[in-house]
Amino acid sequence: MTLASLYLHDFRNYAHLELSLTPGVSLFFGKNAQGKTNLLEACYYLSTLTSPRAERDLDLARWGTDRFTLGARLTEPDQTSYIRIDTIVRPALRRRVLIDDRPAKRPELVAHFPCVYFSPDDLYMVKRGSSLRRRFLDSLLSRLDPGYARELSRYEDTVTRRNAILKKAFMSSSWDKTLEGLDQILIDSGSAVLNRRLSLMSTFSGQVSDTYRFISGDECSVSYSSSLGDLSGSREDTARLFREKLASIRAEERNRGVTLVGPHRDDISITFGDKTVRYFGSQGEQRSVALALRLAEARALEERLMRKPVLLLDDVFSELDESRREKVLSLCDFGHQILLTSTDPVPIAGSNVRMYAVGEDTVKPL
């Protein structure tokens, strides 16, 4: 699959842009704040209906406008297809997604045009607390498994409601009964979320080790680490463990007014031998792990969707050393199309590289 052309209308700083692309590497360079990230963001939105950085679609419409349109032409040896997304951001969010002129939903979009977005901020996934690692896993799972997002939002809705009751100074018997019901939903949806996360991790952890070895030649291991303890049993075992845990920390939860265990408190642990990368890895090693996580994301998507994701590398190139750059670029030879941005025209050898200059709210092929 090749992203052969892109179309942006009233998206971020682009009033109107039509751009032809070729397989291999497309390098977008330009000064800061020219719209390089915006371009990759458009690709990612065409794949997932979400932005890798904006919280709301409202921020994506060009200032002074209420709607934007994105389009893509995708070619394969034997066929061409088109994606078109119209998003109205005001007064209420409304979206129309068409694949080959037929209405489509997010799972079809992801399956049709998988993309992976790499950002320098990916480093924080490795360096900081657990929430970015959970978000990474949730974002991947919601693309691999359309039912996941629904179960996760059921779980998260339950946590916020449960917390509101736990915060009450006085617990009437009717609120107490309500809490019992919420516990039941928490355990049910939480076990469903855990089940899906664990089933992903059973293959994903190996994929991360593989991609890390590919990048650095070294070993790292990745595993799911749950606030509930050891989750090696069946889904029923998990539910039982969850129930026991809740019962044992009820008093503390009442004290603190929050839900203290469950998938919203879990983590992915990444280690070199017995050392946690988060605390003991060098900056360079941490960057490689972040890159490995994204490359493993691409592999997981590819295995499920039977398509090579387009790799969107935003500003990450300048931070890699020569050998790691080559490793990443070699992925083109395995059939990945790569779009990368940089503030300077990094010299890249090879015949399959095309350069584009980004500036003055437009993009020009060189």
Partner 1 sequence: MPVFPDAIQSLVDELRKLPGIGPKSAQRLAFHLIVAGKPAINKLISSLEEARDRVGYCSVCGNLTESDPCPICQDSKRDRTLICVVGYPKDVLAIERAGGYRGLYHVLHGYIEPLKGVGPEDLRTKELLARLGPGSPVKEVILATNPDVDGETTALYLAKVLKPLEVRVTRLARGLPFGADLDYADEVTLARSLEGRREVT
Binding site for partner 1 (CB under 8 A): 91-92, 150, 153-154, 157-158, 160-162, 164-165, 172, 174-175, 177-178, 180-182, 184-185
Given the complex with ligand ADP, which of 123 and 358 has the nearer CB atom?
358
92 contacts ligand ADP (rule: CB under 6 A)? no
Whole-angstrom Cα distance, residue 179 to residue 182? 5
CB 119 within 8 A of CB 125: no
Question: Residue 177 touches which of Mg ion, ligand ADP, partner 1, none (CB < 5 to 8 A by kind)?
Answer: partner 1
Residue 287 to residues 99, 180, 199, Cα–Cα distance (Å): 36, 44, 26
Residue 60 beta carbon to ligand ADP: minimum distance, rounded to whole angstroms:
6
Whole-angstrom Cα distance, residue 29 to residue 145? 35
Q: Which listed residue (47, 62, 118, 194) binds ligand ADP by CB under 6 A?
A: 62
CB 246 within 8 A of CB 261: yes
Residue 32 beta carbon to Mg ion: minimum distance, rounded to whole angstroms:
7
38 contacts Mg ion (rule: CB under 5 A)? no
Region binding ligand ADP by CB under 6 A among candidate stretches 59-67, 74-82, 171-179, 202-210: 59-67
Residue located via tokens 């979400």: 50
Question: Residue 35 touches which of partner 1, ligand ADP, Mg ion, none (CB < 5 to 8 A by kind)?
Answer: ligand ADP
Question: Residue 128 touches which of ligand ADP, partner 1, Mg ion, none (CB < 5 to 8 A by kind)?
Answer: none
- Closest CA relative to residue 77, chosen from 130, 3, 2, 136: 2
34 contacts ligand ADP (rule: CB under 6 A)? yes
Each residue 4-23 as x (binds ligand ADP by CB under 6 A) or -, in order, gives --------xx----------
Region binding ligand ADP by CB under 6 A among candidate stretches 28-36, 83-91, 134-142, 204-212: 28-36
Residue 66 to residues 15, 47, 58, Cα–Cα distance (Å): 12, 21, 8
Q: Which listed residue (26, 37, 142, 189) binds Mg ion by CB under 5 A?
A: 37
Given the complex with ligand ADP, which of 63 and 170 has the nearer CB atom?
63
Residue 54 beta carbon to partner 1: minimum distance, rounded to whole angstroms:
23
Given the complex with partner 1, which of 92 and 247 has the nearer CB atom?
92
Residue 217 beta carbon to ligand ADP: minimum distance, rounded to whole angstroms:
31
- Closest CA relative to residue 197, chosen from 170, 224, 219: 224
35 contacts ligand ADP (rule: CB under 6 A)? yes
Whole-angstrom Cα distance, residue 313 to residue 288? 14
36 contacts ligand ADP (rule: CB under 6 A)? yes
Region binding Mg ion by CB under 5 A among candidate stretches 33-41, 60-68, 86-94, 216-224: 33-41
Q: Which listed residue (38, 48, 205, 238) binds ligand ADP by CB under 6 A?
A: 38
136 burial (CB, 10 Å; 0-12 / 13-18 / 19+) is: middle
CB 49 within 8 A of CB 143: no
Contact positions toward Mg ion, by CB under 5 A? 37
Contact positions toward ligand ADP, by CB under 6 A? 12-13, 30, 32-38, 59, 61-63
